[in-house]
A and B are shown apart, each in its own frame.
Chain A
Amino acid sequence: MLHIDRLTKRYGPVVAADEVSLRVRPGSMVGFVGPNGAGKSTTMRSIFGLVVPDSGTITWRGEPVDRDHRTRFGYMPEQRGLYPKMPIADQVAYFAELQRVERSLATSRAEELLTSLGLGERLTEPLEKLSHGNQQRVQLAVSLANDPELLVLDEPFSGLDPVAVDTLQAVLTARVADGAGVLFSSHQLDLVERLCDEIVVIAGGRVRAAGTVGDVRSAAGVRHVRVRVDQPRIPLDEALAGLSVGRIDGDEATVVVAGDREVADVLDRARRAGTVVRLDFDLPSLTERFAAIVTDDAAGPLPGGDRPGGATVGATGESGDR
């Protein structure tokens, strides 16, 4: 298991990661979501020693991660890039060899992987001769070349066409079924919701929510209560005044409440208007939760440091994402 514990990294006044903690268990897929500049890349790069944290620990099976461990990890950086003039099979084999895979195995695995990704006919072609989509496949093959026990993919779905998205999903699901742990970041919440056993929501360098998708949706205690009153004696908006009423549609109203107890309050008030014929409550969707978290973040001050003025946020945004 990979365990990141209270990882903190500052770049001058910007706190890129603020006590970030997360775990990736073998055979599980963890989605890492958050707006740009939230600290996802900083966290992922620190797993590979590309960022040296100011504090916090990263352990693999209880030991601090070192170079030996990393040879069993696969990585796809956010900034894609390979050697443009190197034949793709050589390229995949080279990275496998750098990860201690023995030469003949590296060569045969490179060919296998590329063939399985539909590039079997082009093994000796230099990368630059391939289309953008095929270059992405080579990048994926490189991350898988050492048959990793842990896969760390930074925005692997970005820029992929729908077919490629399906391929990548299938590859990741297969790896997880084989017992690998997968950590990937994404903006595509539907994908994350569908694929991931667990998600970690990060904003402003800080983990705002973590756990299963259900955990995250329920974590804030927010419920969407829908109540229907049979022929209300007083208008529902009047009866429910003071609560955060979302939508009123004749005899039906949706109210956002902060916790289970407030559901009773909604019920009491609705009864004043008439006979309650229907009451159901639901968790907010992941997208709604995500939006709420990010909005909170934008509204409140950043923990651990002052965000520079509005004009400079854009300029520092890039390094904030490192």
Chain B
Amino acid sequence: MSTSRIVWLVMRRELRARLFSRAFVIGLAVIVVLISAVSFLSAALGDDEPIRLGLAGEQPSGAVATLEALAEAVDTEVEISDLTGLGEAERLVADGELDAAVVDGELLMERTSNQIVALVGPAWQQAGLIDGLTGAGLDADGVQAVLGAAAPIDVVELDPDPDADAREAVAFASVILMFIAIQVAGSYIMLGIFEEKTTKVVELVLASVPARYLLAGKILGIAVIGLIQVAVLVVTALVASAATGSSALPALSPSLLGTAVVWFLIGYLLYGAVFAAGASLAPRQEDAQSTLAPISMILLISYIAVLGTSGDPTGWPARVVSWVPLTSPFAMPGRIAANAAPWWEVVGSMAVGIVAVIGVLLATERIYVRSVIHTDRKLGWREAWSLPS
């Protein structure tokens, strides 16, 4: 029988056993709910809502136009509604239906908002100035031309990236999601191998299938499950941010999503392989704890190290962790999202990651093939390494 067919059979069993398991479905549902909840919550707390402004009584001509021009300059929306008079204005502002109202030159607010004062004040001042000057007999167009040349002032942000905040958020989220995805997939590998050892079914499987094909089928099958999970996570994030009108969308570029898949695979294979080797050493649950605890610890420390450096994606700690294979799968997608990684760093760290994966897979194969058949006792790493195959 061809190698690929055996590997496919093992893969298919793995897929079926996991995809239809209650644990998998529930786990995925929990993640979807969590991501949606976080997105909606952050959207609800966010303050990029338009400013609702009511107008009543006499307004200087051109005030509204100036206000809109000012608002546009600072990337804020203003919704304007016409009111019947002071009474209605007071009621609507008090009820929170409006953020502010201008009635006969007075600005009403429930509580003073610097943002609204900063927008409405200059607009009315300028419009009133034009009205006054034209009233004094000056040519309205001439006044407009003189003042228009000076105001409204152009706002120049020192950060040239208008989506910087969104990118930072995506970068941070990608570290967390990558950690979840790698940890879940890694534990599936571990549990799968472990189940075969504790139930002794591995003896029967190995009677017809070489150990390395069993390992390959398992790792590939769970990789597919992991990718499905990553896809669900990403789609949920996209849908949630589209539904809430979050500005994170522009940061989720196709290149980020594409590299995220590659980084997931690198991280998954790296950690999954180590988990696989560890699980193959232990015949019982009690033995597994001591073998796997150090691996989980390394995973957790790597994750924390990346989280700690993600605040400054161009600093040297962030650059170091995005090159080290154990941390790069978490770190690099974040830096890519933050637009903080030059292409050569992306390609270079990916190459380092892939080399590391190949090395770890070869070592895992050696350990797994030698140790998985020993269902009667716990083996040490060194012992397993040097067993006859």
Contact = CB atoms under 8 A, between A and B. Distances in A.
Given A71-B1, A94-B13, A100-B1, A77 B203 contact: yes
A222 to B, nearest CB: 38
Nearest to A75: B207
A79 B9 CA distance: 23
Contact of B207 (A70, A94, A318): A70
B376 A318 contact: yes
Interface string A60-93: 0000000100110101010111111110001000
A79 B201 CA distance: 8
Contacts of A97: 9
B113 interface: no
A299 B179 CA distance: 62
A70 B13 contact: no
Contacts of B203: 45, 50, 77, 79, 81
A278 B201 CA distance: 59
B224 interface: no
Contacts, number: 67
B68 interface: no
Given A83-B195, A85-B17, A319-B376, A50 B207 contact: yes
A77 B199 contact: no
Interface of A is mostly: loop
B208 A98 contact: yes
Interface in B170-212: 195-196, 199-210
A226 interface: no
B204 A86 contact: no
Contacts of B210: 67
Contact of B204 (A82, A84, A85, A90): A82
B221 to A, nearest CB: 13
A98 B17 contact: no
A137 interface: no
A94 B200 contact: no
A322 interface: yes
A100 B6 CA distance: 9
Interface in B20-38: 21
B162 interface: no
Contacts of A318: 376
B200 A98 contact: no
A99 B208 contact: yes
Contacts of B250: none
B6 A98 contact: yes
A290 interface: no
Nearest to B202: A81
Interface in B338-389: 373, 375-376, 388-389
Interface centre among A79, A82, A142, A319, by most chain B C-beta atoms within 10 angstroms, is A79
A52 B373 CA distance: 12
A75 B389 CA distance: 21
Interface centre among A45, A49, A79, A81, by most chain B C-beta atoms within 10 angstroms, is A81
B17 A77 contact: no
B18 to A, nearest CB: 10
A82 B205 CA distance: 9
Contacts of A90: 16
Given A71-B1, A77-B200, A82-B199, A94 B9 contact: yes
A98 B9 contact: yes
Nearest to B389: A52
Contact of B200 (A48, A67, A79): A79
Contacts of B204: 75, 77, 81-82, 95, 142
A81 B199 contact: yes
Contacts of B376: 318-319, 322
A70 B388 contact: no
Interface string B213-256: 00000000000000000000000000000000000000000000
Interface string A287-322: 000000000000000000000000000000011001
A71 B13 contact: no
Contacts of B17: 83, 85-86
Contacts of A45: 203
Contacts of B196: 83
A66 to B, nearest CB: 11
A70 B207 CA distance: 8
Nearest to B6: A98
A98 B199 contact: no
A99 B208 CA distance: 6
Interface string B25-57: 000000000000000000000000000000000
Interface in A95-130: 95, 97-100
Nearest to A96: B208
A49 B204 CA distance: 11
Nearest to A71: B208
B283 to A, nearest CB: 10
Given A52-B388, A319-B376, A322-B376, A81 B206 contact: no
Interface of B: 1, 6, 9, 13, 16-17, 21, 195-196, 199-210, 373, 375-376, 388-389
12 contacts: A45-B203, A50-B373, A71-B1, A71-B208, A77-B204, A77-B207, A79-B203, A81-B203, A81-B204, A83-B199, A95-B208, A97-B9
